[in-house]
């Protein structure tokens, strides 16, 4: 017997019964994830989810995808709050539940650290990405995982503030530890520190990145200056701020766009979807269009909003959609999963990033410490990364770390740290 899979453009291809079954399984998994990854489920979402739960789904694959794409906690919340927990297997639901409470614990630590930062830094700071969103966009702090705390400060003050944190116990590191408050994805950030932020600092529990630019491209710095002026205060002391909705949307879009060839995850698009669904009536789209006068920045925003519209049905004005991209029928969940794998070019970028970071440091002592800590990380970092508890285990862990550096950056093998 012959089967055909019909695509959105009306074309079709012949497949075997087995391939058809596997393809439908994958489509069902993807559709379930896309319909459940939101804080509020519409009647249409609920209807689709109930129908899909009765279809042929590889639930193990579904759970793995949801975790990789960063939406397991969001799915747990949406199913629970709408009384739909029975739609997924109980063991998967329990796993998502455990992840939900783990993220809640981790994010509570981040919130405490944000308060600590506000006491150390006397200047105005703007919370970026998760540090802002878990407090202002999502119903509770468990819905959106975080890798670190990102703050924006004035360009002229960035190194003074960075050094102030170092003098208050923060340690400069090359790679953050995989502890209870960390995620391996942070190991693969490919950013030019000279154009965006200084090296990450670690205080034993979480990392902080001090940004002076919202964008990787120096050409967009004028937009950062505009965003700084319109930031909204979050505290009575007028120290902690968040971006206005317009600049927040632009920043989230640019952030996702910069990850489309490295580690794009659905969670980033969910941030955009939630923002537009909840603040869409107050977002000034004309202002966004004016802010994005640079054609490249407008292209970034339009491309990412098109992704959100296609995948999550995010309501986006027609002039912010790329019809050509939609008609190419290339936007799907599997495309996000494919580009997560680190390529050889990514590894080359890692070395370029390292030397760029080294050049960005002014003091010779900072340069020496940076190089030294690349090869001899602090023992707290090693304990967290390799789960060491004794001196002998710590010594062995250093050999494993050096082996990782050699295999990853000399032999160019695609391995994770700790392997």
Q: Do residues 73 and 96 make contact, with C-beta atoms less than 8 angstroms apart?
A: yes
The dihedral region occupied by 98, where left means phi > 0, alpha psi between -120 and 50, and beta the remainder, is alpha
Q: From first to last of its 419 residues, what are the pLDDT tens digits of the chain?
A: 444 444 444 444 444 444 444 556 678 999 999 999 999 999 999 999 999 999 889 999 999 999 989 999 999 999 999 999 999 999 999 999 999 999 999 999 999 999 999 999 999 999 999 999 999 999 999 999 998 999 999 999 999 999 999 999 998 865 444 333 333 333 333 334 445 788 889 888 889 999 999 998 788 899 999 999 999 999 888 899 999 999 999 999 999 998 776 665 899 999 999 999 999 999 999 999 999 988 889 999 999 999 999 999 999 999 999 999 899 888 888 877 765 444 334 444 566 656 666 665 666 877 787 788 888 887 777 776 777 888 888 889 898 889 888 877 777 665 555 55
**Rounded to an integer, what distance in angstroms lies between the CA atom of residue 256 and that of residue 133?**
15
**Rounded to an integer, what distance in angstroms lies between the CA atom of residue 357 and that of residue 354?**
5
- Going from N- to C-terminal start, the domains of the chain cover 3-98, 104-338, 376-419
Q: 149-152 and 171-172: which strand pairing?
A: unpaired
Which distant-in-sequence residues (6+ apart) come within 8 Å of 290 by Cβ?
none
Q: How far is CA 186 from CA 146, 179, 259, 409, in A?
A: 10, 12, 12, 17
**Rounded to an integer, what distance in angstroms lies between the CA atom of residue 57 and that of residue 28?**
6
Structural tokens at position 229: 């002026």
Query: Model-level pTM?
Result: 0.75
CB half-sphere exposure, 319, CA atoms < 13 A: 7
- Supply the pLDDT for residue 345: 42
Domain spanning 104-338, CATH architecture? 2-Layer Sandwich (3.30)
Q: Find the DSSP H helices in 37-129.
A: 43-53, 59-68, 72-81, 90-120
Q: 125-128 and 207-211: which strand pairing?
A: unpaired
Task: Please work out, in degrees rounded to the nearest 5, the angle formed at the alpha carbon of residue 278 by the alpha carbons of 314 and 93.
Answer: 75
């Amino acid at each position: 017997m012959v089967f055909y899979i019909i695509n959105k453009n009306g074309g079709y291809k012949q497949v075997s019964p087995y391939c058809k079954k596997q393809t439908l399984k994958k489509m069902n998994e993807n559709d379930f994830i896309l319909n459940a990854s939101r804080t509020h489920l519409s009647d249409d979402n609920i209807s689709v989810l109930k129908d899909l739960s009765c279809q042929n789904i590889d639930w193990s694959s579904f759970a793995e995808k949801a975790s990789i794409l960063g939406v397991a906690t969001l799915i747990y919340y949406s199913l629970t709050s709408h009384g739909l927990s029975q739609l997924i297997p109980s063991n998967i639901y329990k796993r998502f539940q455990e992840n939900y409470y783990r993220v809640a614990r981790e994010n509570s630590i981040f919130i405490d650290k944000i308060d600590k930062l506000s006491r150390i830094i006397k200047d105005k700071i703007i919370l970026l990405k998760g540090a802002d969103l878990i407090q202002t966009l999502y119903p509770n702090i468990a819905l959106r995982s975080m890798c670190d705390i990102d703050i924006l400060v004035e360009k002229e003050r960035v190194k003074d503030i960075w050094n102030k944190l170092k003098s208050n116990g923060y340690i400069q590191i090359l790679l953050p530890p995989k502890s209870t408050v960390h995620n391996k994805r942070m190991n693969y950030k490919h950013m030019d520190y000279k154009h965006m932020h200084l090296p990450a600092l670690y205080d034993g529990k979480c990392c902080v990145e001090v940004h002076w630019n919202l964008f990787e491209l120096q050409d967009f710095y004028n937009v950062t200056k505009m965003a700084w002026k319109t930031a909204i205060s979050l505290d009575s002391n007028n120290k902690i701020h968040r971006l206005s909705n317009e600049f927040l949307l632009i920043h989230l879009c640019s952030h996702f766009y910069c990850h489309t060839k490295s580690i794009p995850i659905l969670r980033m698009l969910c941030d955009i979807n939630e923002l537009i669904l909840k603040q869409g009536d107050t977002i000034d789209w004309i202002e966004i269009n004016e802010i994005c006068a640079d054609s490249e920045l407008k292209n970034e925003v339009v491309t990412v909003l098109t992704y959100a519209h296609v995948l999550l049905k995010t309501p986006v004005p027609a002039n912010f959609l790329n019809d050509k991209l939609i008609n190419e029928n290339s936007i799907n969940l599997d495309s996000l999963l494919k580009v997560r794998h680190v390529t050889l070019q990514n590894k080359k970028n890692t070395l370029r990033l390292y030397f760029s970071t080294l050049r960005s440091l002014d003091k010779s002592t900072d340069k020496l410490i940076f190089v030294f800590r690349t090869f001899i990380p602090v023992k707290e970092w090693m304990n967290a990364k390799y789960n060491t508890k004794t001196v002998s285990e710590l010594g062995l862990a250093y050999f494993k770390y050096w082996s990782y550096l050699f295999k990853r950056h000399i032999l160019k093998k695609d391995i994770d740290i700790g392997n």
